[in-house]
Structure 1
Amino acid sequence: MNRFHRPAWRTAAALALSLCALGAQAQDKSVELKFAHWLPASHPLAKLGFEPWAKSVEEASKGSIKVMLFPAQQLGKAADHYDMARDGIAQMTWVNPGYQAGRFPLIAAGELPFLLGKPGPSSAALDQWYRSYAGNEMKDVKLCFAHVHVGTFHSKTPISEPGQLKGMKIRSANGTVAQTMSLLGATNVQVSAPESRDAIQKGLADAITFPWNSIISFGIDKAVKYHTDMRFYASAFVWVMNKPWYDGLAAGQKKVIDDHCNNTWASKVGASWGDEEDSGRTTLEARAGHTLVKVTPEQLGAWKKAVEPVYTKWVEAANATGVNGTAALDSLRKELAARGAQ
């Protein structure tokens, strides 16, 4: 048999392979992913999280997924980013669920004071734990992953004991921190992170709960001089995606997204950003005019006792959704312990 007279089955197989290849090419047509967030484009999370993620997605998809970043509230206010992903204003958004207090009660476990420790392992633990609940609590969108930052008080006057908060005006990082401030007698000032410096400089707030390095990157170090040296609170964040956009992707493109929306990326982003945030502590300690306010073991014990009712309220809120709050909180604690994150 010469090469011009091969069997029909070989010809058919070759044709089928060619058609499959053409079909794959047709399926993997270029798509655009608008990724909106509300941080400055120069923020460490943009450089350590958003940009590397976008680059990795583009490379893994061989350029068929084009990621366009929209920072600094260009497409909408910080508190609107969940709904922006749901409604397709952006295909992906970075969301602080605590900006809409009470709307997402389960992930608020990641905001409980003194529960989370190092941001990297804490992010991995929270992400793994929350995947059991996200399908119901955030059913309007596709969860990519969750991560956290951990922070403390930055203030005009020193704060070392819970009793000192009474009568103060505090810009709280999220709904759970706001609840904690109310419990301890402070007044909450509700402004987003980009608006915080202005609020303090105008006297609308006396202190802010914030991670260490963002105090510098947002310029808030110009407005506050005292920094309480403890891990007081955490804020949980989610990267969420528009469901119809994801559903319309080719199979290979979906795999690329799935490979970038997992616990590994939650840990990676949580660690890289968290370590960068924590580095701000050393920077501020060395900066003239700034003071780290030390907290004694006795004072720390008083803080932890003072915030116990916040845990009770979280369990009640979880119970109201049909979830056993006590069991869920125990499960999160076990996940944190397993990763050395408490």
Structure 2
Amino acid sequence: MRIARLLRGAALTAGLSGALALGLATERASAQEHQLRLSHFLPPVHGIHTDFLQPWAEELAACSGGQVAVEIFPGGTQLGNVAKQQEQVLAGVVDIAHGLHGLPRGRFPRTSVIDLPFLTESADAASRTLWALLPDYLAEEYQGLKVLALHAHNGGLIHTRGTRVATMDDMRGLRIRTPSPAISMMLESLGAIPQGMPPGQVYENLEKGVIDGTVFPWDPVRSFRLAEVLDHHLDARAYTVSFFFVMNQRSYDRLPAEVQACIDETSGEALVARFGEWWDAWDAPGLAAATEKGNAVAVLSDAERDRWRAALEPMIEAYLDALEEQGVDNAREIYAKAQEYVARFEAN
């Protein structure tokens, strides 16, 4: 009799536990009623994933009281192709994307002005300048998208395998991977042969001798393990490359007002202001990886920098001419305004 009572009690407890678990699962499913897909092209060890995108998704979930869950697809996944970030988010294949403006080429001609050589050296000034330019000068390039942030990396270096680069003469004939049309023109003007390719292919092509070097800030030297296949690094700080963090406008408009408010709160100017500090932190391990391997690190001398600046002035004019021919009638106005903003933010 006692055993029977115990069995009946156990059955009742199991039933109550099952009902409670089902209720909690239903409550969680109900709470996370908005599932968003976010894609980017970088490996999940990169700071953009670990320090920016993943915490941003968690912050959005917390702000919305658990109404939103963000699934992230990094580089190497089916949605992580660097050349497809813009088209995926425009088509609604993903709701949010972080991508590189220069790939595929020609889609963001106005925004590409930030890539021009010697315009800026810091991620902070470059990112704040992009955000300041957006309302009046860049917005038409983001139709169908809600811009959550625009940003750029710290002044980039020239990294090479087998050849030391310290002067413009050393650049002659080197096959250098390039991320954007502006950087391609810069490399050509310095005597190099630009080679377009996604960041994830640089390691293999360096190892095989297909290219002699690449332009990057310090951070990919660690995140893409490039210290293993590089020997020399020239801290030229001659250029930057920019990125977008955008959301499909229809996806945003479908969300309830309180969730939209959370997205607005976790993005925009306050988010843009964090990239300077972030990029300094992301660059440090790259420099450390190169140093630990014993790679040679040089800094472009002031005299050589002046020489590069003079050599690149016609290239900058030619690039602005090309933008005007493409229909960006106010290309020079955008460039002048970018110079003004950079000077202001770097002074601060």
TM range (shorter): 0.7 to 0.9
The partner residue of 1:304 within 306, 309, 328 is 309
Which shows bigger deviation, 33-42 or 110-119?
A: 110-119
Number of residue-to-residue matches in the alignment: 315
Which shows bigger deviation, 45-54 or 127-136?
A: 127-136
Q: SS of 1:231's equivalent?
A: coil
The partner residue of 2:338 within 313, 332, 337 is 332
Q: SS of 1:307's equivalent?
A: helix
Task: Report deviation, 1:178.
Answer: 1.4
The partner residue of 1:221 within 227, 232, 245 is 227
Question: How is 1:170-181 mapped onto 2 (pairs within 5 angstroms)?
Answer: 170-181=176-187
Answering whether residue 249 of structure 2 is matched by residue 249 of structure 1, we say no
The partner residue of 1:93 within 88, 93, 97 is 97
Q: Is the 8 A contact 1:171 1:205 kept in 2?
A: yes
RMSD: 2.1
Residues 254-288 of structure 1: CA deviation (Å, up to 9, x unaligned): 111122231110121x1243112332465156324
**5+ residue gaps, structure 1:** 1-26
From the superposition, tell whether residues 247 and 328 of structure 1 become closer, same or farther in structure 2 (CA, over 3 Å).
Answer: same
Aligned to 2:141: 137
* Alpha-carbon distance in 2 for matches of 1:326, 1:189: 27
Give the counterpart letter for 2:74 in structure 1. Answer: P
Q: SS of 2:230's equivalent?
A: coil
Give the counterpart letter for 1:197 in structure 2. Answer: Y
Give the counterpart letter for 2:73 in structure 1. Answer: F
Aligned to 1:8: none
* Alpha-carbon distance in 1 for matches of 2:110, 2:65: 37
Answering whether residue 121 of structure 2 is matched by residue 117 of structure 1, we say yes
Residues 225-247 of structure 1: CA deviation (Å, up to 9, x unaligned): 10102212201000011121111
The partner residue of 1:47 within 45, 50, 53 is 50
From the superposition, tell whether residues 281 and 76 of structure 1 become closer, same or farther in structure 2 (CA, over 3 Å).
Answer: closer
* Alpha-carbon distance in 2 for matches of 1:316, 1:28: 53
Q: SS of 2:72's equivalent?
A: strand
Which shows bigger deviation, 288-297 or 81-90?
A: 288-297
TM-score for both structures, normalised by structure 2: 0.85
Aligned to 1:17: none
Question: How is 1:249-268 mapped onto 2 (pairs within 5 angstroms)?
Answer: 249-268=255-274
Q: Percent identity?
A: 24
* Alpha-carbon distance in 2 for matches of 1:102, 1:330: 21
Residues 301-338 of structure 1: CA deviation (Å, up to 9, x unaligned): 11111221332134224434344222221211111122
Q: SS of 1:209's equivalent?
A: strand
Give the counterpart letter for 1:211 in structure 2. Answer: P
Q: SS of 1:293's equivalent?
A: strand
From the superposition, tell whether residues 80 and 281 of structure 1 become closer, same or farther in structure 2 (CA, over 3 Å).
Answer: closer
Aligned to 1:104: 108
Residues 39-67 of structure 1: CA deviation (Å, up to 9, x unaligned): 11111221111112111111111111111
The partner residue of 2:192 within 186, 190, 195 is 186
Give the counterpart letter for 2:110 in structure 1. Answer: L
Divergent runs of 4+, >6 A? none
TM-score for both structures, normalised by structure 1: 0.86
From the superposition, tell whether residues 196 and 136 of structure 1 become closer, same or farther in structure 2 (CA, over 3 Å).
Answer: same
* Alpha-carbon distance in 2 for matches of 1:258, 1:90: 19
From the superposition, tell whether residues 93 and 267 of structure 1 become closer, same or farther in structure 2 (CA, over 3 Å).
Answer: same
Q: Is the 8 A contact 1:49 1:272 kept in 2?
A: no
Answering whether residue 64 of structure 2 is matched by residue 61 of structure 1, we say yes
The partner residue of 2:295 within 282, 286, 290 is 290
**5+ residue gaps, structure 2:** 1-29
Q: SS of 1:233's equivalent?
A: coil
